[in-house]
């Protein structure tokens, strides 16, 4: 009979193995998030994948968030960018999020392509759209934008260059400049 580990085992195990390397543990709506320093991401990810009783053997997603505020500051976060790794243990049917924060001055995180080759395209997309570099990545070329493109379109300070959207409260102002847009 298989011994199914307790849901808190990843936390206890990671805290035991990494001590202060785990900066924070967040339990919210039956989801576990471990917050680590950027230089610990690869070590903790490999530990979560290879340790008996954990076996987070599937990297389902990597996402990045820009916490920049137009009024200045970073909305109460430790750094401007957050990078989240979403893992799943197929053996134990559990999910875990590994999160790190990086400054805009040096947005660098170690690559996970040596642990999960599928991280390749996910990291390239984040590098292209957010400007976060993945140290040791085997193919750091842009993925979605042309090679000569300036900037990173998913950053909150990226200039949008958009047209004002027509709503009921501003339709008269819009229609003054666009008579062809009348219904």
Contact 87, 95 (CB under 8 A): yes
Contact 124, 105 (CB under 8 A): no
Q: Nearest Cα to 84, choosing from 92, 69, 96? A: 96
Confidence (pTM): 0.81
Query: What is the distance between the alpha carbons of residues 67 and 78, in angstroms, rounded to a whole number?
Result: 10
Contacts of 125 (CB under 8 A, 6+ apart): 143, 144
pLDDT digits (tens, 9 = 90+) for 163-172: 666 677 777 7
Per-residue pLDDT tens, the chain, 183 aa: give them.
Answer: 445 556 567 778 888 888 888 999 898 888 899 999 999 999 999 999 999 888 999 999 999 999 988 666 666 678 899 999 999 999 999 999 999 999 989 999 999 999 999 999 999 999 999 999 999 999 999 999 999 989 999 998 888 766 666 677 777 776 776 666 555
What's the pLDDT at 162?
63
User: Please, what is the angle between helix 9-18 and helix 41-50, to 10°?
Assistant: 130
Contacts of 131 (CB under 8 A, 6+ apart): 107, 151, 152, 155
Domain boundaries, the chain: 9-181
What's the pLDDT at 68?
87
SS3 at position 44: helix
Vertex 45: Cα angle to 134 and 18 (nearest 5): 115
Query: What is the distance between the alpha carbons of residues 163 and 173, in angstroms, rounded to a whole number?
Result: 12
What's the pLDDT at 78?
81
Contact 87, 41 (CB under 8 A): no
Burial 36-64 (b: 16+ CB within 10 A, else e): bbbebbbebbebbbeeeebbbeebeebeb
Q: What is the architecture, at CATH level 2, of domain 9-181?
A: 2-Layer Sandwich (3.30)
What's the pLDDT at 182?
56
Query: What is the distance between the alpha carbons of residues 162 and 167, in angstroms, rounded to a whole number?
Result: 15
What's the pLDDT at 16?
84
């Amino acid at each position: 009979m298989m011994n199914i580990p307790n849901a808190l085992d990843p936390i206890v195990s990671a805290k035991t193995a990494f001590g202060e390397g785990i900066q924070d543990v967040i339990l919210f709506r039956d989801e576990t998030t471990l917050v680590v320093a950027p230089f610990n991401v690869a070590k903790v990810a490999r530990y979560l994948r290879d340790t008996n009783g954990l076996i987070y053997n599937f990297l389902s997603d990597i996402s990045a968030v820009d916490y920049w505020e137009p009024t200045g500051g970073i909305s109460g976060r430790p750094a401007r960018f957050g990078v989240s790794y979403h893992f799943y243990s197929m053996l134990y049917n559990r999910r875990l999020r590994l999160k790190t924060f990086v400054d805009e001055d040096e947005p660098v995180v170690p690559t996970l392509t040596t642990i999960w080759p599928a991280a390749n395209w996910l990291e390239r997309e984040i590098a292209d759209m957010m400007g976060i570099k993945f140290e040791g990545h085997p193919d750091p070329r842009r993925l979605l934008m042309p090679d000569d493109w300036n900037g990173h379109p998913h950053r909150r300070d990226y200039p949008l260059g958009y047209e004002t959207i027509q709503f009921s409260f501003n339709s008269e102002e819009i229609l003054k400049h666009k008579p062809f847009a009348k219904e």
